[in-house]
Amino acid sequence: MFSRVLLLVAFLAIATPATAANVSIVIDLSDQHMRVSVSGAPKYSFDVSTGRKGYTTPKGSYGVQRMYKEYYSKKYDWSPMPYSIFFRGGYAIHGTYDTKRLGRVASHGCVRLSPENARRLYNLVLQHGSGNVSIRVKG
């Protein structure tokens, strides 16, 4: 029995990634800003664009549903959505090439970042594992 417990403990130590941490992504609709922390320590702060008039970015707490390094919107004329992190159905955090509108409402409901910041966030989620990520939309 002891050897089974020891074997299980050894397996769990190997199977758990050393880089696993809690990644918190908070999107504030009131100031069009995203704050990212890792294990409670601030990591990134980005300007974003969320849902403009007639479109909403859903408030609430979410996890990562799926991720795509390259994605194209089937709903909006195959628009590029680089480094997409989907959090609720068709809503995603993703890069945009329309960077001049970051910091203001401009999207159909997704959370837009500059392509470089979207890449940083995407890689951070990959590094720590999508199951260790919480996404909160407030404001």
85 within 8 A of 62, measured Cβ to Cβ: no
pLDDT for position 116: 99
47 within 8 A of 27, measured Cβ to Cβ: no
Helices (H), 28-67: none
What does pTM read for this prediction?
0.83
Domains, the chain, with CATH or none: 21-138 (2.40.440.10)
Report whether pLDDT(76) > 80: no
pLDDT for position 73: 84
132 within 8 A of 64, measured Cβ to Cβ: no
Give 78's pLDDT tier (boundaries 50, 70, 90).
confident
The predicted-structure confidence for 20-71, as pLDDT tens digits, reads as follows 679 999 999 999 999 999 999 999 999 999 999 999 999 999 999 999 999 8
pLDDT for position 126: 98
Report whether pLDDT(18) > 80: no
Give 103's pLDDT tier (boundaries 50, 70, 90).
very high
Structure tokens belonging to residue 57:
């970015």
pLDDT for position 19: 53
SS3 category, 65: coil
pLDDT for position 41: 98
Q: How many CA atoms lie within 13 A of 76 on its CB side?
A: 12
The predicted-structure confidence for 8-17, as pLDDT tens digits, reads as follows 444 444 444 5
pLDDT for position 11: 43
What values do phi and psi take at 4, rounded to 5? -70, -45
